[in-house]
Chain A
Amino acid sequence: MTNLSLSPILAALPWEADYWFPPQRSTYAHEVDWVYFFIGWVSIFFFVVIMAAMAYFCVKYRRRPGQPKLKYPTHHSGLEIAWSILPSFLLVYMFYAGFISFMDMRSMPDEAYNIVVNGQKWFWQFSYDNGKIIESGSVANDANWNDKKSIFAKVPRLHVPVNTDIVLTMNAKDVLHSFFIPAFRTKQDVVPGRYTKLWFNANEVGVYDVFCAEYCGDKHSEMLAEVVVETQEDFDKWYAVASDLEQRFPDPVKRGEYLYSSRGCTQCHSLDGSTKPNGGPSFLGWWGKEVPVDGQAPVKMDENYVRESILNPMAKVHTGFGKIMPAGLITKDKEIDALITFIRNLNQPSKTETKK
Chain B
Amino acid sequence: MATVDTTTTYSPDSKPVNYLTQSHGFLSWAMTLDHKRIGVMYLVATSVAFLLGGTFAILLRTELWAPGHTIVSHDTYNQLFTLHGAVMVFLFIIPGIPAALGNFMLPIMLGAKDVAFPRLNLASFYFWCVGALFFLSALLLTGLDTGWTFYTPYSTTEYNTSKDEAIIAATMGVFVLGFSSIFTGLNFLVTIHTMRPPGMGWFHMPLFLWATYSTALIQVLATPVLAITVLLIIVERLMGIGIFNPVYGGDPVLYQHFFWFYSHPAVYIMILPAFGVISELISVNCHRHIFGYRFIAYSSVAIALLGFLVWGHHMFTSGQSKIASVVFSAITFSIAIPSAVKIFNWLATMYKASISFNAPFLYALSFMFLFTIGGLTGLFLSTLNTDVHLHDTYFVVAHFHYVMVGGSLTAFFGGLFHWWPKISGKMYSEFPAKVSAFLVFIGFNLTFFPQFVMGTRGMPRRYYNYLPEFQSFHQWSTIGAYVLGLGAIVAFATLVHSMFRGKKAPTNPWGGASLEWQCPSPPPLENFHEAPTVGDCYDYDRLRYDEKTEGYVMTK
> A residues within 8 Å of B by Cβ?
19-22, 28, 31-32, 35-36, 39-40, 42-43, 46-47, 50-51, 53-54, 57-58, 61-64, 67, 69-76, 79-80, 83-84, 87-88, 91-92, 94-95, 97-99, 101-103, 105-107, 121, 139, 144-148, 151, 174-176, 178, 180, 182-183, 185-189, 191-194, 196, 209, 211-222, 277-278, 322-324
- Determine if B347 is an interface residue (Cβ-Cβ < 8 Å): yes
Most buried by A among B289, B350, B377: B350
A311 to B343 Cα, complex, angstroms: 62
Q: Which residue of A lies closest to B246 (CB)?
A: A193
Q: Which of A67, A212, A215 contacts B154 (CB 8 A)?
A: A215
- A51/B369 contact (C-beta < 8 A), A72-B288, A88-B337, A176-B153 known: yes
- Determine if B32 is an interface residue (Cβ-Cβ < 8 Å): no
Binds A, one of B224-232, B460-468, B496-504: B460-468
Q: Judge whether B329 and A98 touch: CB under 8 Å.
A: yes
Query: Could you name 13 residue pairs across A and B whose Cβ atoms are closer than 8 Å?
Result: A28-B385, A32-B389, A63-B356, A74-B293, A79-B348, A80-B295, A84-B337, A95-B333, A101-B385, A182-B458, A191-B319, A216-B154, A220-B78
- Determine if B524 is an interface residue (Cβ-Cβ < 8 Å): no
Q: Judge whether B354 and A63 touch: CB under 8 Å.
A: yes
Q: Which residue of B lies closest to A208 (CB)?
A: B458
A22 to B67 Cα, complex, angstroms: 19
Q: Which residue of A lies closest to B463 (CB)?
A: A221
- Determine if B373 is an interface residue (Cβ-Cβ < 8 Å): yes
Q: Which of A79, A176, A221 contacts B465 (CB 8 A)?
A: A221
Q: Judge whether A212 and B460 touch: CB under 8 Å.
A: yes
Q: Which of B154, B317, B368 contacts A187 (CB 8 A)?
A: B317
- A39/B154 contact (C-beta < 8 A), A51-B369, A57-B350, A98-B385 known: no
- A-chain residues with CB within 8 Å of residue B317 when the two chains form the complex: 178, 187-189
Q: Judge whether B288 and A53 touch: CB under 8 Å.
A: no
- A-chain residues with CB within 8 Å of residue B74 when the two chains form the complex: 218-219
Q: Judge whether B251 and A145 touch: CB under 8 Å.
A: no
Q: Which of A42, A67, A98, A180 contacts B392 (CB 8 A)?
A: A180
Q: Which of A20, A151, A215 contacts B462 (CB 8 A)?
A: A215
User: Other CB < 8 Å A-B pairs besides A39-B386, A209-B458, 6 of them?
Assistant: A51-B369, A61-B355, A121-B159, A194-B246, A215-B462, A322-B158
Q: Mark B371-401, 1 if CB is under 8 A from A, else 0.
A: 0110011011011111111011100000000
- A-chain residues with CB within 8 Å of residue B68 when the two chains form the complex: 144-146
Q: Judge whether A218 and B388 touch: CB under 8 Å.
A: no
Q: Which of A95, A121, A183 contacts B383 (CB 8 A)?
A: A95
- Determine if B290 is an interface residue (Cβ-Cβ < 8 Å): yes
A83 to B346 Cα, complex, angstroms: 13
Q: Judge whether B376 and A187 touch: CB under 8 Å.
A: no
Q: Judge whether B354 and A185 touch: CB under 8 Å.
A: no
Q: Judge whether B376 and A46 touch: CB under 8 Å.
A: yes
- A-chain residues with CB within 8 Å of residue B461 when the two chains form the complex: 213, 215
- Determine if B16 is an interface residue (Cβ-Cβ < 8 Å): no
- B-chain residues with CB within 8 Å of residue A185 when the two chains form the complex: 385, 388-389
Q: Judge whether A50 and B75 touch: CB under 8 Å.
A: no
Most buried by B among A22, A50, A53, A188: A50
- A103/B322 contact (C-beta < 8 A), A43-B377, A51-B372, A175-B154 known: yes
- B-chain residues with CB within 8 Å of residue A28 when the two chains form the complex: 385
The dominant DSSP class at the A interface is mixed
- Determine if B59 is an interface residue (Cβ-Cβ < 8 Å): no
Q: Judge whether B456 and A192 touch: CB under 8 Å.
A: no
Q: Judge whether A218 and B78 touch: CB under 8 Å.
A: yes
Q: Judge whether B353 and A220 touch: CB under 8 Å.
A: no
A322 to B162 Cα, complex, angstroms: 11
Q: Which of B325, B333, B356 contacts A94 (CB 8 A)?
A: B333
A151 to B470 Cα, complex, angstroms: 14
- A75/B383 contact (C-beta < 8 A), A20-B453, A180-B460, A214-B392 known: no
Q: Mark B315-326, 1 if CB is under 8 A from A, else 0.
A: 011110010011
Q: Which residue of A lies closest to B158 (CB)?
A: A323
A51 to B326 Cα, complex, angstroms: 32
Q: Which of B66, B159, B287, B356 contacts A278 (CB 8 A)?
A: B159
- A-chain residues with CB within 8 Å of residue B457 when the two chains form the complex: 20-22, 182
Q: Which residue of B lies closest to A75 (CB)?
A: B292
- B-chain residues with CB within 8 Å of residue A209 when the two chains form the complex: 458, 467
A106 to B389 Cα, complex, angstroms: 13
Output the least CB separation between B121 and chain A (Å): 34
Output the least CB separation between A356 and chain B (Å): 34
Output the least CB separation between A323 and chain B (Å): 7
A216 to B159 Cα, complex, angstroms: 12
Residues of B in contact with A, size category: 35 or more
Q: Which of A42, A58, A80, A105 contacts B341 (CB 8 A)?
A: A80
Q: Judge whether B293 and A102 touch: CB under 8 Å.
A: no
A99 to B326 Cα, complex, angstroms: 7
- A-chain residues with CB within 8 Å of residue B289 when the two chains form the complex: 72, 74
- A218/B75 contact (C-beta < 8 A), A70-B352, A87-B337, A324-B159 known: yes
Q: Judge whether A99 and B153 touch: CB under 8 Å.
A: no
- A-chain residues with CB within 8 Å of residue B322 when the two chains form the complex: 102-103, 106-107
Q: Judge whether A176 and B154 touch: CB under 8 Å.
A: yes
Output the least CB separation between B444 and chain A (Å): 16
- Determine if B516 is an interface residue (Cβ-Cβ < 8 Å): no
Q: Closest 4 interchain pairs by CB?
A: A193-B246, A182-B458, A145-B68, A102-B384
A182 to B286 Cα, complex, angstroms: 47
A209 to B459 Cα, complex, angstroms: 11
- A189/B377 contact (C-beta < 8 A), A50-B368, A57-B347, A222-B465 known: no
A188 to B380 Cα, complex, angstroms: 18
- A-chain residues with CB within 8 Å of residue B154 when the two chains form the complex: 175-176, 215-217
A28 to B384 Cα, complex, angstroms: 13
Q: Judge whether B388 and A97 touch: CB under 8 Å.
A: no
Output the least CB separation between A227 and chain B (Å): 13
Q: Which residue of A lies closest to B248 (CB)?
A: A193
- Determine if B160 is an interface residue (Cβ-Cβ < 8 Å): yes
- A-chain residues with CB within 8 Å of residue B340 when the two chains form the complex: 83-84, 87
A39 to B350 Cα, complex, angstroms: 27
Q: Which residue of B lies closest to A40 (CB)?
A: B380
Q: Judge whether B384 and A98 touch: CB under 8 Å.
A: yes
Q: Which of B159, B295, B393 contacts A84 (CB 8 A)?
A: B295
A90 to B538 Cα, complex, angstroms: 33
Output the least CB separation between A147 and chain B (Å): 7
Q: Which of A32, A74, A83 contacts B388 (CB 8 A)?
A: A32
Output the least CB separation between B267 and chain A (Å): 19
Most buried by B among A19, A57, A186: A57
Q: Mark B446-461, 1 if CB is under 8 A from A, else 0.
A: 0000000100111011
Q: Judge whether B379 and A43 touch: CB under 8 Å.
A: yes
Q: Judge whether A187 and B388 touch: CB under 8 Å.
A: yes
Q: Judge whether A215 and B151 touch: CB under 8 Å.
A: yes
- B-chain residues with CB within 8 Å of residue A217 when the two chains form the complex: 78, 145, 154, 159
- Determine if B50 is an interface residue (Cβ-Cβ < 8 Å): no
A31 to B383 Cα, complex, angstroms: 12
Q: Which residue of A lies closest to B146 (CB)?
A: A215
